């Protein structure tokens, strides 16, 4: 398993956790909910998560710019995972509402190109 696959597993786990929290009543909607949140509200959720990433960066022990807390790379990873999971949830709502699929992406890469890219990084 490569790093990308490992990270995407963590994002998937976080995404499932969001749904479990909603079912448990912790919050009413996720960004995947079709009729729950407006685009503006979904953006607000995403930006709030990005703000938590910023806080971790500003308090990171290696490059600490703020003094109130001490951020760690592990916590930064968790916050980035939450940003990715919120983004995935939002994308899910677009797939559900509009039938948009990965085929809508402008970038296409063939298996041969992907293999060449992976080989060049080895």
Per-residue pLDDT reduced to its tens digit, 77-105? 999 999 999 999 999 998 877 777 766 56
Residues 89 and 15 sit within 8 Å (Cβ to Cβ): yes
Question: 3-state DSSP call for residue 18?
Answer: helix
Per-residue pLDDT reduced to its tens digit, 61-76? 777 666 666 788 899 9
Residues 90 and 43 sit within 8 Å (Cβ to Cβ): no
Q: Report if pTM > 0.75.
A: yes
**pLDDT at residue 117 above 90?**
no
Query: Domain range spanning residue 63?
Result: 3-121
- For the chain, the domain total comes to 1
More confident residue, 27 or 120: 27
């Amino acid at each position: 398993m490569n790093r990308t696959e490992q990270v995407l597993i963590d994002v998937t786990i976080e995404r499932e956790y969001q749904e479990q929290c909603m079912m448990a009543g912790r919050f009413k909607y996720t960004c995947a909910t079709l009729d729950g949140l407006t685009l503006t509200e979904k953006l607000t959720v995403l930006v709030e998560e990005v703000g938590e990433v910023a806080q971790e960066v500003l308090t990171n022990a290696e490059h600490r710019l703020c003094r109130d807390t001490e951020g760690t790379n592990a916590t930064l990873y968790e916050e980035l995972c939450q940003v990715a999971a919120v983004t995935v949830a939002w994308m899910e709502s677009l797939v559900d509402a509009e039938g948009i699929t990965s085929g809508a992406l402008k970038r296409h890469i063939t298996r041969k190109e992907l293999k060449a890219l992976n080989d060049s990084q080895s």
